[in-house]
Amino acid sequence: MELSKKNRIILAVSAVLIVAIFAFAYLRDRSRTIDAQTAENLISNSLVSDAVIEGPYLYFKSGGVRYKVPKDAVDLKEVYSKTAVTIVEPNPYLADVITIVILALLVAYLLRWLRKNREIKEQQLSEQIQFASELQKPADIQPIISNITFQDVAGIDEVKEELEEIIDFLKHPRKYLNFGIRMPRGVLLVGPPGVGKTLIAKAVAGEAGVPFFYQSGASFVQIYVGMGAKRVRELFKRAKAMAPAIVFIDEIDAVGKARGGMRNDEREATLNQLLTEMDGFEDSSGIIVIAATNKIEMLDDALLRPGRFDRRVFVSLPNKEERKSILKIYLANKPHYVDLDEIAEMTVGFSGAALSSLVNEAAIHALKNGKKIIEIEDFLAVKDKVLLGKRKILTYSDEEKRIQAVYQAAKAVMAYWHDISFSKIGLLSDHFQHSEKEIVSKSEILNRIKVHLAGDMMMHYHFHEHYTNAANDLKEARLLAQDMVEHYGMGEHFGVDIADVEKILEDARLDVEGFIGRMETGILKLADEILKREIVTKEDVKEILHDLF
C-alpha cells in the first residue's frame, strides 16, 4: 500500500515537470510566422512597432498581433528607418541549463524515493525478525493462588449453588471420574458490568484451592496474525502443567465474537485456537475454563455448543436482600450507624461494584466532615455522585418502582398463563427461557409476542398512559412478528407483506387487552409482591393466581 502511494506521487511529479517543460516551450515563442513579402509591406507602410532582432528572427507587432520573419529575408535598413529596433543577444545555453535543472530535480527526487523505499523494506524486515523472535519466545504466564472464598462474596446464593459441584470436582476429580461423570469443560458467567463475575471466578479458585490463570479477552487480540493463537496455546499448556487449575477469560466477547461479516484474521485465528484447545481437553485434564461476558448475543455459536461452554450461569443485579448482604461485607471494617434496610431500599439497580463505590464515597464524606462514624446522611449526600460516576446506574423513585412492578407483573402473569417458561421475574429483569425445540409452533411465537406486549397494555389499562420502559419489549414483539412473516411464512399471504406484520401485532394487542382486563386484580397483587421482594418465582405467580381464581 505504501509503495503504490509512493509510485503515484513520483508519477504525478514527473507529469507536472513534463507539462512544465512543454508549457515553457510553448510560452517561450508564441509569435505568428509570416512570409517576407507580407512583412515588407507592413514595414513600408509604417505599420510595425516594437521591432526586436533575436537570433535568426525579426519580431514585431502590427495591429496588436506579434509576428516573426527570418531577418535575412527582409531589408533591415528599411526596418531601422521606419521604427526603433532592439537587438537581443540570446543565451545559447539557456535551454540546456533549464533542461539540466529539471533532470537534476527528477534524479534527486528519484534517489530520495529509492532511499525511503529501502528504509521501508528494512523496517519491514526488522518487524518480521522481531515477530519471529516473539513467536519463539515463551509467554510469561503466571497463575495466582486466590485467597478469596464464597464468604467474601455476598448476594450470589443461586450462583454459588450452581458452582458448588465444579468446586467439588476440582477438589475430588477421581470421585467423578470413577462414576463415569464428565464435568463441564467451560462455564460462562453472563451478567451486566459490576456484578462480580471476576470475583466469583476467583472465589471458585479459592474454594477449590487450585491455581487461577487470569486473562482478558482483549489481551489475546494482537497486532500480528499468530500472536493471539500463540498466547492461547501457551496459556493452556501452562494450565495443563499445573492441573487441576482454572483458566478465567474476562470479556471473552473481545475475542469470541461471531465470525463472518467484517473479517479480522488475527481474531479468527485466536478464536479457532481457543476452540481447538477446549476440544483437546482430556476428561482427566482437571482444567475448567470460566469466561465472563455481558454480551452473550455477540458470541460465536461454536463457543456455545456442547463440549465448550456447557454451562451458563446468569449473574443478575442484586435484589434487596442481596444488597443488604453486600453492604454488610463492605461496612464490616468501617465504623457506621446505619439501617441496612434503608440503604438497600434506596439502591435499586446498584451492582456490587456500585455498592462498593457508594460505601467508600460515604466513608470519605464522613471523614471530610470530621465524623467518626458513617451515617445515613453520608450515603444520601454521595448517592447522586456515585450514580453519575457510574454512568447513571439504573435507579428508580418510588413512583417509578410502582410503575415498573406493575409492568413486570403483567408480563409474569401473561407468561404463566400461556406456559412461557421462566424461573423468576424481578423489578429490574426477567428470565424468560428461549424454546429449545427445533420446531416451534405459530401459537407459541404468538404467545411470546403477547408476553412482550402485556406490560405496555397494562400501563395503558391501569395508568391510562404509555411509558418508555416498554421500548425493548415492543422492539422484541415486532422482531418476532417480522420473523413469522419473512422467515416462517406465517402471515396471511405467502409472500412477504408488511401489512401481515401489523395485523399479527394488532390481533395480539386486542387479545392482551382483554386478558389484562380479566386479570387486573391478580396482576396488581403480584406487583405488590414484586415491590416488597423485588423478585418473584414462577411458583409465587402460581400461588397468587391460584388464591384469586
* Confidence band of 393 (pLDDT split at 50, 70, 90): very low
First to last CA, the chain: 74
Instruction: Report whether the peptide linkage leading into residue 70 is cis, meaning its omega lies within 30 degrees of zero.
Output: no
* Confidence band of 454 (pLDDT split at 50, 70, 90): very high
pLDDT of residue 21: 61
Q: What is the mean pLDDT of residues 101-125?
A: 78
Q: How far is CA 113 from CA 28, 84, 120, in A?
A: 32, 53, 11
pLDDT of residue 12: 65
pLDDT of residue 133: 56
pLDDT of residue 261: 55
Shared-domain flag, residues 270 and 358: no
Between 215 and 79, the higher pLDDT residue = 215
Structural domain contains residue 116 = no
Where on the phi/psi map is residue 534: left (φ > 0), alpha (ψ -120 to 50), or beta? left
Shared-domain flag, residues 407 and 531: yes
Q: CB neighbours of 424 closer than 8 A, spacing ≥ 6? A: 430, 431, 535, 536, 537, 538
The three-state DSSP-derived secondary structure of 163-201 is HHHHHHHHHCHHHHHHCCCCCCCEEEEECCCCCCHHHHH
Which residue range(s) make up the domain with 248?
144-314
Structural domain contains residue 156 = yes
Instruction: Looking at 390-497, list the stretches that DSSP marks H as alpha helix, in order from N- to C-terminal side.
Output: 398-417, 442-458, 471-486
Which of 97-101, 149-153, 299-303, 358-362 shows the highest mean pLDDT? 358-362
* Confidence band of 90 (pLDDT split at 50, 70, 90): low
* Confidence band of 463 (pLDDT split at 50, 70, 90): very high
pLDDT of residue 495: 77
Decide if pLDDT at 391 tops 50.
no
Residue 158's domain is classified under what CATH number?
3.40.50.300
Spatial separation of the C-alpha atoms in residues 329 and 473, rounded to whole Å: 36
Spatial separation of the C-alpha atoms in residues 498 and 486, rounded to whole Å: 9
Decide if pLDDT at 146 tops 60.
yes
| Mean pLDDT estimate for the chain | 79
Structural domain contains residue 417 = yes
Q: CB neighbours of 489 closer than 8 A, spacing ≥ 6? A: none
* pTM > 0.75: no
Q: How many CB atoms lie within 10 A of CB 380?
A: 14
pLDDT of residue 480: 92
Shared-domain flag, residues 287 and 415: no
Shared-domain flag, residues 441 and 494: yes
- Strands in 422-426's sheet, in edge-to-edge order, are 430-432, 422-426, 535-537
pLDDT of residue 10: 61
pLDDT of residue 390: 44
Taking alpha carbons only, the member of 208, 213, 211, 214 closest to residue 173 is 208
pLDDT of residue 171: 81
3-class SS at 2?
A: helix
pLDDT of residue 69: 81
Are 252 and 190 in contact, with CB atoms under 8 Å apart? no
Decide if pLDDT at 18 tops 90.
no
Structural domain contains residue 261 = yes
Q: What is the mean pLDDT of residues 112-126?
A: 78
Decide if pLDDT at 477 tops 90.
yes
pLDDT of residue 512: 93
Are 193 and 234 in contact, with CB atoms under 8 Å apart? no
Decide if pLDDT at 27 tops 60.
no
Quote the cell numbers at residue 513: 387487552
Range scoring the smallest mean pLDDT among 25-39, 178-192, 265-279: 25-39
Neighbour-count burial for 68-85, b at 16+ CB within 10 Å, e otherwise: bbeeeebeeeebeebbeb
Half-sphere exposure (CA, 13 Å, Cβ side) for 27? Answer: 6
Neighbour-count burial for 403-433, b at 16+ CB within 10 Å, e otherwise: bbbbbbbbbbbbbbbbebebebbbbbebebe
Quote the cell numbers at residue 278: 477446549
Shared-domain flag, residues 434 and 530: yes
Decide if pLDDT at 1 tops 50.
no
Domain limit, last residue, from 360, 389, 418: 389
Domain limit, last residue, from 336, 368, 389: 389
Shared-domain flag, residues 344 and 476: no
Domain limit, last residue, from 263, 294, 314: 314
Residues of the chain with pLDDT > 70, as a percent, come to: 80
Shared-domain flag, residues 310 and 352: no
Question: Is the CA virtual torsion 155, 160, 162, 166 positive or negative?
Answer: positive
**Helices 94-136 & 2-28, crossing angle to 10 degrees?**
180
Between 476 and 233, the higher pLDDT residue = 476
Are 235 and 193 in contact, with CB atoms under 8 Å apart? no
Shared-domain flag, residues 281 and 191: yes
Between 72 and 538, the higher pLDDT residue = 538
Decide if pLDDT at 323 tops 90.
no
Residue 460's domain is classified under what CATH number?
1.20.58.760
Spatial separation of the C-alpha atoms in residues 277 and 272, rounded to whole Å: 9
Structural domain contains residue 331 = yes
Structural domain contains residue 18 = no
Structural domain contains residue 518 = yes
Taking alpha carbons only, the member of 47, 68, 46 closest to residue 57 is 68
Spatial separation of the C-alpha atoms in residues 142 and 468, rounded to whole Å: 48
Decide if pLDDT at 451 tops 90.
yes
Residues forming a β-bridge with 312: 188
pLDDT of residue 457: 94
* Confidence band of 392 (pLDDT split at 50, 70, 90): very low
Number of domains in the chain: 3
Are 452 and 504 in contact, with CB atoms under 8 Å apart? no
Decide if pLDDT at 103 tops 80.
no
Q: Name residue 248's amino acid.
A: F
Shared-domain flag, residues 458 and 536: yes
Range scoring the smallest mean pLDDT among 134-138, 514-518, 541-545: 134-138
Shared-domain flag, residues 224 and 363: no
Shared-domain flag, residues 200 and 249: yes
Q: CB neighbours of 323 closer than 8 A, spacing ≥ 6? A: 155, 343, 344, 347, 350, 355
Quote the cell numbers at residue 10: 513520483
Residue 373's domain is classified under what CATH number?
1.10.8.60
Range scoring the smallest mean pLDDT among 99-103, 240-244, 447-451: 99-103
Instruction: Burial-class residue 188 by CB neighbours within 10 Å (0-12, 13-18, 19+).
Output: buried
Cα 80–83–87 angle (5° rounding)? 60
Q: What is the mean pLDDT of residues 338-357?
A: 83
Residues of the chain with pLDDT > 90, as a percent, come to: 15
* Confidence band of 134 (pLDDT split at 50, 70, 90): low
Between 46 and 266, the higher pLDDT residue = 46
Which of 218-232, 426-440, 483-497 shows the highest mean pLDDT? 483-497
C-alpha radius of gyration, the chain, whole number? 41
Spatial separation of the C-alpha atoms in residues 498 and 501, rounded to whole Å: 5
* Confidence band of 510 (pLDDT split at 50, 70, 90): very high
Residues forming a β-bridge with 324: none
pLDDT of residue 386: 65
Structural domain contains residue 138 = no
* Phi, psi values for residue 287, rounded to 5°: -110, 130
H or E element that contains 503: helix 498-533
3-state helix, strand, coil in the chain (%, to 5): 60, 15, 30
Shared-domain flag, residues 505 and 520: yes
Quote the cell numbers at residue 466: 404509555
Between 170 and 470, the higher pLDDT residue = 470
Taking alpha carbons only, the member of 380, 326, 377, 328 closest to residue 350 is 326
pLDDT of residue 226: 61
